[in-house]
Amino acid sequence: MVVPSEYIVIDHESSNYLDRKHMLFVRKELIEKRRIKGVIIPEQGRLSGNSLHQQIFEAECSYYGVEFLFGDAPSGTDWASAATRQLMAHANQLRLQTTHKATRGGNIGRVLKGMVPAHRAAYGYRYCRDAEVTPDGRVHIRRAWWEVDELGPDGGPLWGSPAWVVIQIFT
């Protein structure tokens, strides 16, 4: 088989949704316009974390005559292969929910310990840290916090800054 390099898609967005940039390209530009005869998906869980989305994708492929091949799941159109893929899709959905809950719980724990959540700083703040590089080359963060991104001479948020805007919204 020949695969043009522009048809090799590396999708880095969350598999919670099927309507993400790269999947829309595959579905709308390649499958619907019949530019391809088949789709190879190395890991079923990267297609979508929702079993209904997987069914939609498979139905679209079947409608347009595009074969699909999963690297880690049966790819046949028989009932046993389809049922196995559906079970795996439900397991992927459970995995995503579990990961989301664990991440949220971890962030709550970080806040309760006086640390900042493990994501980028909120609008109007900047991330600050006290860190050191250990002998093995890893970064050890001793303390992390968020600070207002722009302070005026009086110590309050600078007029027109994102932090000032947030205060105006809440006021």
Q: Strand 38-41 vs strand 67-70: parallel, antiparallel, or unpaired?
A: parallel
| pLDDT of the residue at 45 | 87
Q: Are 18 and 53 in contact (CB under 8 A)?
A: yes
| pLDDT of the residue at 22 | 93
Q: Are 41 and 69 in contact (CB under 8 A)?
A: yes
> Could you tell me the domains of the chain?
5-111 (3.40.50), 120-170 (no CATH)
pTM above 0.85, yes or no: no
| pLDDT of the residue at 51 | 86
Mean pLDDT of 118-130: 80
- Give every CB contact of residue 106 below 8 A, 6+ residues apart in sequence: 118
Q: Is the pLDDT of residue 15 over 90?
A: no
Q: CA-to-CA distance for 72 and 121, rounded, in angstroms?
A: 37
| pLDDT of the residue at 121 | 79
Mean pLDDT of 80-101: 89
Mean pLDDT of 55-78: 93
